[in-house]
């Protein structure tokens, strides 16, 4: 069998109509071995991108095939899954194409959160219709149409069904917690976020799917969908980045290494390395910026988009004139190493 893009053995949740609500993959794989690909024939896989619903017996057969193929880790996972009381699936992606099912969509989100691919590193086109909007509760994912009856059943037995949120995306920490990170408020990091080692997400920090941090870094603001934050950068309290889904068009917003967004600041352009945006200043592509020389004297006036991806810039607002100014940034940002050693 030819090489595959990704494989995930998972267990998930169906609604009463047998439709997938979510899938958990304990150890998704990127570019699995040819031996593992051949072993998938035991699960009925032939070709293409497929999500194969498996019975417990079929998963046990797959475990045996994986063991014979020398895939000990995946065989061990399959053995554990074979005893599950929930729906099982083997999702196989022959190529990195747009997902066509809920299990495929969840596998791609897992690949990012497991740090197997970076944001924008896998095709997520058309993912939203494949992610049902569900109630995330202390009893797992529940179809919204089935929620009232489940709430009543819980009350009749003296229990409380706690609904933590209603959303298409679950919180990442219920599926994977990458090594070397701190997340003060886990509900604020969605599955599909990429958190590099040394990343700290404070209580008001937020990281969307297909976005993240290279790490180390301090996130006290918002990392919107599609945004990648470079190593050593700091987003201050309530700072914001404009996502590609919220007005950024096709421009991918990113921050380079050792950048600082001050409290309540924001950017709608990609920044290079060692850039600073002062507190309270939001820079969009159309912001008129006055360039200053080393003595602080005006040189030229440009749109912020003309400064996109350039390094060593300091953006500030003139307190007298209100003009947005930009000059060379002489002060590199240095994060506290002890603060970002998340062992």
The predicted-structure confidence for 173-203, as pLDDT tens digits, reads as follows 999 999 999 999 999 999 999 999 999 999 9
Instruction: Reply yes or no on whether the pLDDT at 60 is more than 80.
Output: yes
pLDDT of residue 180: 97
pLDDT at 248: 43
Least confident window among 74-78, 124-128, 281-285, 293-297: 293-297
Q: Please indicate whether residue 229 or residue 2 has the higher confidence score (pLDDT).
A: 229
| Mean pLDDT of all residues belonging to the chain | 93
Residue 244 pLDDT > 90, yes or no?
no
Query: According to CATH, what is the number of the domain 135-167?
Result: 3.30.60.70
pTM of the full predicted structure?
0.93
Q: What stretch of H or E contains 22? A: strand 20-24
Q: Which residues contact 52 (CB under 8 A, 6 or more apart)?
A: 43, 44, 45, 89, 90, 91, 92
| pLDDT at residue 295 in the model | 84
* 220 catalytic per annotation: yes
Which residues make up the CATH 3.30.60.70 domain(s) of the chain?
Answer: 135-167
303-310 CB contacts, 8 Å cutoff, 24+ apart: 304/268, 304/269, 305/269, 307/269, 308/251, 308/269, 308/270, 308/271, 309/256, 309/269, 309/270, 309/271, 309/272, 310/272, 310/275
pLDDT score, position 251 = 81
Kindly provide the b/e burial profile for residues 97-119, where b requires at least 16 CB atoms within 10 angstroms of the residue's own CB. Answer: eebebbbbbbbbbbbbbbbbbeb
Residues in the chain: 343
Tokens representing residue 16 in the block: 């009463």
Among 104, 214, 220, 278, the one annotated catalytic = 220
Helix runs in the chain, H state only: 34-39, 56-68, 72-81, 102-113, 147-156
Residue corresponding to tokens 């059943």: 153
99-110 average pLDDT score: 98
How high is the pLDDT of residue 266? 97
Residue 9 has pLDDT above 90, yes or no: yes
Q: Is the pLDDT of residue 312 over 60?
A: yes
What 3-state class would DSSP assign to 140?
strand
- Give residue 334's pLDDT: 53
The pLDDT of 155-168, averaged and rounded, is: 96
Decide which of 342 and 265 is more confident.
Answer: 265
Out of 177-181, 242-246, 312-316, 327-331, pick the least confident.
Answer: 242-246
| Residue 1 pLDDT | 53
Identify the pLDDT of residue 43.
Answer: 86
* Class (C level, CATH) for 6-129: alpha beta
At 3, list the tokens. 């090489």
Q: What is the pLDDT of residue 336?
A: 53
Q: What is the pLDDT of residue 330?
A: 66
CATH architecture group of domain 172-340: 3 Solenoid (2.160)
- Nearest residue to 271 (alpha-carbon basis) of 232, 228, 330: 228
Radius of gyration of the chain (CA): 23
Please list the residue range(s) of the chain that carry CATH number 3.30.70.2010. 6-129
């Amino acid at each position: 069998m030819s090489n595959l893009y990704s494989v995930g053995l998972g267990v998930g949740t169906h609604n009463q109509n047998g439709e997938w609500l979510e899938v958990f993959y304990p150890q998704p794989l990127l570019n699995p071995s040819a031996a593992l690909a051949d072993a998938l024939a035991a699960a009925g896989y032939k070709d293409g991108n497929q999500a194969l619903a498996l019975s417990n017996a079929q998963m046990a057969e797959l475990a045996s095939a994986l063991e014979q193929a020398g895939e000990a880790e995946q065989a061990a996972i399959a053995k554990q899954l074979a005893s599950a009381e929930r729906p099982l699936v083997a999702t196989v992606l022959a190529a990195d194409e747009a997902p066509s099912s809920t299990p495929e969509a969840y596998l791609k989100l897992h690949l990012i959160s497991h740090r197997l691919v970076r944001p924008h590193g896998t095709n997520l086109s058309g993912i939203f219709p494949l992610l049902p909007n569900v109630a995330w509760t202390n009893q797992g994912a529940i179809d919204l149409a089935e929620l009232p009856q489940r709430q009543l059943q819980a009350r009749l037995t003296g229990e409380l069904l706690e609904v933590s949120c209603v959303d298409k995306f679950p919180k990442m920490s219920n599926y994977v917690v990458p090594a070397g990170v701190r997340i003060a408020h886990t509900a604020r990091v969605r599955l599909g976020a990429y958190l590099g080692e040394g990343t700290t997400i404070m209580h008001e920090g937020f990281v969307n799917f297909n976005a993240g941090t290279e790490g180390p870094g301090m996130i006290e603001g918002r990392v919107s969908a599609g945004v990648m934050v470079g190593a050593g950068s700091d987003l201050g309290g309530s700072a914001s980045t404009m996502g590609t889904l919220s007005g950024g068009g096709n421009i991918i917003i990113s921050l380079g290494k050792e950048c600082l967004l001050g409290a309540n600041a924001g950017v709608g352009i990609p920044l290079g390395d060692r850039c600073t945006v002062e507190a309270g200043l939001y820079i969009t592509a159309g912001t008129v910026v006055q360039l200053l020389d080393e003595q602080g004297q005006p040189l030229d006036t440009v749109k912020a988009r003309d400064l996109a991806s350039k390094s060593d810039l300091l953006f500030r607002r003139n307190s007298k004139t209100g003009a947005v100014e930009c000059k060379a940034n002489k002060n590199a940002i240095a994060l506290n190493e002890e603060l970002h050693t998340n062992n």
